[in-house]
Amino acid sequence: MADEKLVKSRQRVADHGEVFTPRWLVDDMLDLVGDETERIDSRFLEPACGSGNFLVPILERKLAVVQRRYGKSAFEKRHYALFGLMCIYGIELLADNAIECRENLAGTFARVLKLEQSPGGHASQSLSERSETKRDPLLAAAEAVLASNIVQGDALAMTDAVGAPIVFPEWAYLGRGRYQRRDFRYDALTQRSAASGTLFDAFEEHEIFTPVRTYPVMTIEEIAA
Ligand SMILES: C[S@@+](CC[C@H](N)C(=O)[O-])C[C@H]1O[C@@H](n2cnc3c(N)ncnc32)[C@H](O)[C@@H]1O
């Protein structure tokens, strides 16, 4: 796009290597892993995610598949759309970028699914209609997911903004509107690939990788709350 801004300031480029990738290049790169981007449950982690130039198109591709596969059932569509979002992760050093990234993903989610975004309703509605308009809990759930999936932190040190180890939630969709969340330390997760081809291959995954927290099964409303 002609108006795409790929640099915020020279200082930020010098200090943090902050140069954003143009949409055409992102699309070309995602096409190389097209099958994965179109799997609702494929997990993507962008360890220097900026404002989401890769993560937003990945979400759009997942949501297009959700629409094709589950478009006829509002229940299934809403739940699989949230699950697609749950499989998207990012780490970003700078606070403003991390906030923008969450906002861009939430905005894309709301736009594609046509969710009510403001508690005030639309200007075209009468005052009484507007006061009755409720914010869609699916959007609140999406924002709660993004608050934990998009981490402000240092991907190299694997620590968050206050220096604690980065923890990511692993979400599973159990069907019938229920989700399971388990949290894992990022530094432990990165050992998965290191263990492959070693003695540890003989162990079951759960014997090596234990969650730091397991949550009760949750619905969209419970995640939103
Ligand atoms: C080259 S930009 C790419 C941004 C985005 N991936 C894109 O393609 O548009 C690199 C980003 O990584 C962030 N960054 C730099 N060092 C980082 C680190 N150690 N951990 C996490 N993010 C980092 C910068 O703030 C910047 O937003």
Question: According to the model, what pLDDT value does residue 3 have?
Answer: 74
What distance in Å separates the CA atoms of residue 117 and residue 134, rounded to the nearest whole number? 9
Q: Is the CB of 136 under 6 A from ligand 1?
A: no
Tens-digit pLDDT string for the chain (225 aa): 557 889 999 999 999 999 999 999 999 999 999 999 999 999 999 999 999 999 999 999 999 999 999 999 999 999 999 999 999 999 999 999 999 999 999 999 999 999 987 765 555 666 666 555 678 999 999 999 999 999 999 999 999 999 999 999 999 999 999 999 999 999 998 876 666 666 666 666 666 689 999 999 999 999 999
Q: Is residue 198 part of a domain?
A: no
By DSSP bridging, strand 150-154 and strand 159-160 are: antiparallel
**Do the domain assignments include residue 59?**
yes
Phi, psi of 32 (to 5 degrees): -65, -25
Containing domain of residue 47, as a range? 10-161
Residue type at 203? F
Question: For residue 130, what is the enclosing H or E element?
Answer: helix 127-132
Task: Calculate the CA dihedral of residues 166, 144, 21, 184 and round it to 10 degrees.
Answer: 30
Cβ(171)–Cβ(83) under 8 Å?
yes
Identify which of 8, 24, 49 to mutate to test ligand 1's pocket (most ligand atoms within 8 A of the CB): 49
The reported pLDDT for the residue numbered 154 is: 98
Whether 18 is covered by a domain: the verdict is yes
CA 36 – ligand 1 centroid, Å: 22
Q: How many domains does the chain have?
A: 1
Q: Give the pairing type, strands 167-175 and 159-160.
A: unpaired
> Does residue 20's CB lie within 6 angstroms of at least one atom of ligand 1?
yes
Quote the pLDDT of residue 185: 96
Residue 206 lies in a domain: no
| Residue to probe by mutation, ligand 1, list 7, 12, 18, most atoms within 8 Å of CB | 18
Q: Which residues pair with 32 in a beta bridge?
A: none
The Å distance, Cα 45 to ligand 1 centre, comes to: 13
217 part of a folded domain? no
In a domain, 65, yes or no: yes
221 is a domain residue: no
Residue 218 lies in a domain: no
